[in-house]
Amino acid sequence: MPELPEVETVRAALAPKVAGLAITGLEFTWPKAVHGTTAEAMKNEVVGRHITGLGRRGKFLLFRLDNGKTLAVHLKMSGALLWMERGCRSNQPYIRTVIYLDKGCIEFRDPRKFGGLWLAESEDDFLAKLGPEPLEKIFTSQVLAGILRKHSAPVKPVLLDQTVLAGMGNMYTDEALFEARIHPMKKARDLGDEEIRRLLRAIRLVLRRGIEAGGASVSTYIRPDGSKGNSQDQFKVAHKRGGSCPRCGLPLQYLKIRGRGTVFCPKCQRL
């Protein structure tokens, strides 16, 4: 699943290309990709508008329009946005939506059909339920402590809750907990001050490392130019089921926590 590093990679690649361009058309080969309105209504609101900028909040990509509205895109499990400078469309399969621009176009590729598009009248209202951004300076260990101590659930699913912390997903949460030496089943409210400081540092480390590597291509994720990311080459536990701990050499363990596959080291991350 594309997580914060993958979505930020897409934003950084597309932002300089689309800023100032006009949307000249929308084509939906899978109309159910549109949420909160109809495909026809979205076309009427979006076509003819100029893109003033491309932002990101959590896992949402935010195409900001010159009428104050925002076209939000979520890649969900298998989505990717592909940039076509010329010759729309590509020969890629699973293209569900095409955003035509006065220079080039963007294709929304989504094999599993879980991704979607929303038209937000107010960006603040649309994103109101999301938790804080983990890479922002105002997100301190004190803020994280205040959040975690409200929850008796295991720390892994708490970090995956987008209303708690925006942008974290299964891969980078496993990596952060390993870096911080925290067992994924430890109750969030039981983490000590030093553990929380280590966790915050680890979250920032793995997210920044993921962004620098262009995201992780472990399944269907590709960057807007069609190339793969390299973050998966740096993973120490994520997607390493059956492997050994790079720190102590013991076999890594796998379990499901609230339905999410989790890989960790039983020695380095003691419960």
Q: Residue 99's domain is classified under what CATH number? A: 3.20.190.10
- Same domain, yes or no, for 99 and 147? no
Residue 63: DSSP 8-state: E
Model confidence at 85, pLDDT cuts 50, 70, 90, reads: confident
- Same domain, yes or no, for 121 and 145? no
* Residue corresponding to tokens 């926590």: 257
Domain end call among 125, 158, 186: 125
| Integer Rg of the chain from CA | 19
- Same domain, yes or no, for 251 and 200? yes
Question: 155-190 burial by CB neighbour count: b if 16+ within 10 A, else e?
Answer: bbbbbbeeebbbbbbbbbbbbbbbbbbbbbbbbbee
> Residue 21 above 70 pLDDT?
yes
pLDDT of the residue at 1: 75
- Same domain, yes or no, for 67 and 170? no
**Rounded distance between C-alpha atoms, residue 192 and residue 198, angstroms:** 10
Catalytic residue at 11? Answer: no
Residue 270 lies in a domain: no
Question: 113-136 burial by CB neighbour count: b if 16+ within 10 A, else e?
Answer: eebbbbbbeebeebbeebbbbbee
| Average per-residue pLDDT for the chain | 96
- Mean pLDDT computed over 249-255: 98
Instruction: Please tell me which residue in 133, 260, 266, 267 is annotated as part of the active site.
Output: 260
Residue 236 lies in a domain: yes
Residue 132 lies in a domain: no
Domain end call among 125, 153, 168: 125
Model confidence at 230, pLDDT cuts 50, 70, 90, reads: very high
pLDDT of the residue at 246: 97
pLDDT of the residue at 92: 82
Question: Mind giving me the DSSP string for 153-182?
Answer: SBHHHHHH-TTTSTT--HHHHHHHHHHHT-
pLDDT of the residue at 137: 95
Residues 6+ apart with CB under 8 A from 44: none
pLDDT of the residue at 86: 76
Instruction: Please tell me which residue in 57, 59, 64, 223 is annotated as part of the active site.
Output: 59
> Residue 97 above 70 pLDDT?
yes
**Rounded distance between C-alpha atoms, residue 75 and residue 90, angstroms:** 19
**Rounded distance between C-alpha atoms, residue 118 and residue 33, angstroms:** 9
**Rounded distance between C-alpha atoms, residue 16 and residue 4, angstroms:** 19
Instruction: Please tell me which residue in 3, 107, 179, 195 is annotated as part of the active site.
Output: 3
By C-alpha distance, which of 53, 32, 47, 209 is closest to 114? 32
Residue 130 lies in a domain: no
Is 84 in contact with 98 (CB distance < 8 Å)?
A: no
Q: Is the dihedral of CA 220, 222, 227, 229 positive or negative?
A: negative
- Same domain, yes or no, for 29 and 120? yes
Residue 253 lies in a domain: yes
Residue range 35-78, pLDDT digits in tens: 999 999 999 999 999 999 999 999 999 999 999 999 999 999 99
Structurally, the chain folds into a number of domains equal to 2
Catalytic residue at 5? Answer: no
Residue 269 lies in a domain: no
Instruction: Please tell me which residue in 2, 5, 157, 184 is annotated as part of the active site.
Output: 2
Residue range 156-193, pLDDT digits in tens: 999 999 999 999 999 999 999 999 999 999 999 999 99
- Same domain, yes or no, for 114 and 153? no
pTM metric for this prediction: 0.96
Residue 180 lies in a domain: yes
Catalytic residue at 208? Answer: no
- Same domain, yes or no, for 259 and 149? yes
pLDDT of the residue at 88: 75
pLDDT of the residue at 91: 77
SS3 content of the chain, % helix, strand, coil (to 5): 30, 25, 45
Model confidence at 9, pLDDT cuts 50, 70, 90, reads: very high
> Residue 234 above 80 pLDDT?
yes
Model confidence at 87, pLDDT cuts 50, 70, 90, reads: low
Residue 171 lies in a domain: yes
Domain end call among 72, 98, 125: 125
Catalytic residue at 6? Answer: no
- Same domain, yes or no, for 150 and 106? no
Is 183 in contact with 15 (CB distance < 8 Å)?
A: no
Residue 22: DSSP 8-state: B
What range does the domain containing 216 cover?
141-264
